[in-house]
Structure 1
Amino acid sequence: MRNYLIALDAMGGDFGPHISLLAAKKTLQKYPTLSLIIVGTREKIIPLLKQYDLLDHDRLSFVHAENVISMEDNPIYVLRHVSNSSMHTVLKMVADGDVDACVSAGNTGALMLLAKQALKTIPSVSRPALVSGLPNNCGGHTYLLDLGANLQCDSDTLFNFAVMGSVLCEKVEQVPKPTVALLNVGKENNKGSDIIKRSATLLGESNYINYVGFIEADELFSCKADVVVTDGFSGNVALKSYEGMGRVFLQQLDKAVNSSFYTKLLGKLLSPILKKQFKHLHPDMYNGASLIGLRGIVVKSHGSANEIAFSYAIEQAIKEIQWQIPNSISNRLEAVLSERDCLSHE
């Protein structure tokens, strides 16, 4: 097993740097070939490294960054006027080849703009996309993209998203020829916008994409597609709805179990089974959205992530390093676009 080196933006997120440091400690214990670089302000990070007994860890180092990008900062302002932040630093490390990947729970818009500036996109990709594997009814994951990086998309962008999502699912989930669907307001061919219809035509013409047609929102996690493609507005709404319903379901289950003496007794007996059965529904379990389409690996953690969720984001980065996702996407896109050129000249 190869060694992995990942940079963590410790200043991003809603709850401060202690979350990323606790996640770092947890992940280092799990992966003996993993090394981490913690990036943040010295006055915040050093005391926490001492507190969590990480200051002299042989696989963890610290890099000081002068500035911090807050969740409220305007991404355009950050791009034009802010420098030397923890987010800038981790992205530069990836761009310079000093680390294999980076993870940040910081401002999503700023991360996308700065990552695109620092790393550049893969040839033929105009916009990177946010994608995450969400648990489905078959015990696996449905990859949904875009999750909010691009609120509006044309048909060529959606086509590229389909290629990128298909490669990620194929490599990380080990699914040969993943099925790909377009999120739409109906399954019929005459439903949806002109952009969606044009995207469907492009996907249906490609031998490299296992396109299965339109899918509606109530079937997102029914295993009818391994990859679901949509614009960032619809994708973000779908993701937040899924997360909210997952929390409501688990809260209602807990309330029902604790409603009386008998249900508490029954719940205690069934607790191991219930935890095993429904553990995958908790949003912490699928934290870590990948910003794909870049020339390097960038993983975005939820801003509200706890240390368990943040550790899953680090593990997602490890998987993408293992499968060299940027190179795999670049190679597939080259083949797909070559195919489209041939079809257009026939």
Structure 2
Amino acid sequence: MKIAVDAMGGDFAPEAIVEGVVMAAAELPDDVTIVLVGRELVVRELLNKYDTKAQQRIELVHADDVIEMSEHPTKALSLKPNSSIGVGFKLMKDKQVDAFCSAGNTGAMHVGALFSIRAIEGIIRPCIAGFVPQVTGGHAVMLDIGANADCKPEMLAQFGEVGSIYAQYTFAIDRPRVALMNIGSEEQKGSLIAQAAHQQLKDNRRINFVGNIEGGDFFSGKADVIVTDGFTGNAMFKLGESFYAMAKLRGIDDEFLNKTNYESVGGSPIIGVNGNVIIAHGISSPLAIKNMIGLAIRQVESNAYTKIAQALA
């Protein structure tokens, strides 16, 4: 198994990325190699500061350029084919790696996935999944958290199905409970879009739909998959992540609140494309990068994207 990591993506790249990769490499299973994509001389100089044993699990692939956070995704990918993101997706397209991870330009990662490995046939729109800690243990998969600000009912219904498949195979949850984020638990609550999505989710016998949940149920353990549009999902997800920072600011050390720290999972997968693509916060620390690689390994082992393709065939 080979996991490609964008060495140049992120606010603290390449230093934080390389450190996180070295941390991950020290604990890798024997059959896993990390492929660092970026400016080889810069990356190699940083790697040489660390344990040589860990370096044996790391390969370097040179990329001349970097797509900055402020650049337009489509334009940047077109003008910078030899950027670390561009080269990473070429490795994916050529099946030289099993997953590609980056803390760089989110839009470029999303567009790059669509242009290179393409959406799974039958997918209306790929989405981004986030992981919400639950008081009952584990995490709920929430989608979408930012790829699609405006969603039609059929998109939300499909998020429920692909999220269910992802949760089943990546987290070994038998018949994941799928819930729709809404302004009330009653079936008739919410916007016209939410009501229509509710009906479509309810009619889908392939999923275990448990109805609506409200904001107060976010961490409750009532659902394994939380369905929402990307606008609402992004706002809720970032609000949830803020609890950790607020707790630390007030000197509170709480086991559950610590799980809302973005570093604990490290990344968010793009669901609905023909491959394993994971994006991370631009502010990602070495620990976040390490955990993102762990998520990538788990996702490759689960083979969830092929299960989604089979379900939609």
Q: State the Cα distance separating 1:85 from its structure 2 match.
A: 0.7
Structure 2 residue 286 is the aligned partner of structure 1 residue 289: no
Other-structure match for 1:235: 233
Q: Is the 8 A contact 1:25 1:54 kept in 2?
A: no
Q: Match of 1:321, as an amino acid?
A: V
Task: Report the CA distance shift for 1:51/1:85 in structure 2 as closer, same or farther (over 3 A).
Answer: same
State how far apart, in whole Å, the 2-side matches of 1:173 and 1:201 are.
Answer: 27
Task: Report the CA distance shift for 1:241/1:275 in structure 2 as closer, same or farther (over 3 A).
Answer: closer
Corresponding residue SS for 2:250: helix
Root-mean-square deviation over aligned CA pairs: 1.7
How high is the TM-score relative to the length of structure 1?
Answer: 0.86
State how far apart, in whole Å, the 2-side matches of 1:129 and 1:46 are.
Answer: 34
Q: Is the 8 A contact 1:79 1:110 kept in 2?
A: yes
Q: Is the 8 A contact 2:140 2:226 kept in 1?
A: yes
1:312-323 correspondence runs (5 A):
312-323=291-302
Larger fraction in helix: 1
Corresponding residue SS for 2:251: helix
State how far apart, in whole Å, the 2-side matches of 1:24 and 1:80 are.
Answer: 28
State how far apart, in whole Å, the 1-side matches of 2:189 and 2:29 are.
Answer: 51
Corresponding residue SS for 1:63: strand
How high is the TM-score relative to the length of structure 2?
Answer: 0.95
Q: Is the 8 A contact 1:186 1:216 kept in 2?
A: yes
Other-structure match for 2:11: 14
Q: State the Cα distance separating 1:42 from its structure 2 match.
A: 2.7
Other-structure match for 2:285: 306
Q: State the Cα distance separating 1:280 from its structure 2 match.
A: 2.2
Corresponding residue SS for 2:186: coil
Q: State the Cα distance separating 1:253 from its structure 2 match.
A: 3.2
State how far apart, in whole Å, the 2-side matches of 1:173 and 1:40 are.
Answer: 31
Q: Match of 1:187, as an amino acid?
A: S
Other-structure match for 2:25: 28
Q: State the Cα distance separating 1:247 from its structure 2 match.
A: 1.5
Corresponding residue SS for 1:94: helix
Q: State the Cα distance separating 1:150 from its structure 2 match.
A: 1.1
Q: Is the 8 A contact 1:130 1:148 kept in 2?
A: yes
Q: Match of 1:47, as an amino acid?
A: E
Q: Deviations over 1:284-341 (max 9, x none)?
A: 102210011000100111111101111111011101111111111112233xxxxxxx
1:1-346 correspondence runs (5 A):
4-33=1-30, 34-53=32-51, 57-254=55-252, 278-334=257-313
Q: State the Cα distance separating 1:230 from its structure 2 match.
A: 0.7
Other-structure match for 1:340: none
State how far apart, in whole Å, the 2-side matches of 1:141 and 1:100 are.
Answer: 24
Q: Match of 1:25, as an amino acid?
A: V
Deviant stretches of 4+, over 4 Å: 53-56, 274-278
Q: Match of 1:45, as an amino acid?
A: V
Query: Percent identity of the aligned residues?
Result: 34
Q: Is the 8 A contact 2:247 2:257 kept in 1?
A: no
Q: State the Cα distance separating 1:82 from its structure 2 match.
A: 2.7
Corresponding residue SS for 1:223: coil
Q: State the Cα distance separating 1:31 from its structure 2 match.
A: 1.4
Q: Is the 8 A contact 1:9 1:86 kept in 2?
A: yes
State how far apart, in whole Å, the 1-side matches of 2:146 and 2:303 are.
Answer: 24
Q: State the Cα distance separating 1:115 from its structure 2 match.
A: 0.9
- Any unmatched runs of 5+ in structure 2? none
Task: Report the CA distance shift for 1:55/1:20 in structure 2 as closer, same or farther (over 3 A).
Answer: farther
Q: Is the 8 A contact 2:22 2:55 kept in 1?
A: no
Corresponding residue SS for 2:87: helix
Corresponding residue SS for 1:242: helix
* Bigger CA radius of gyration: 1
Q: State the Cα distance separating 1:21 from its structure 2 match.
A: 1.1
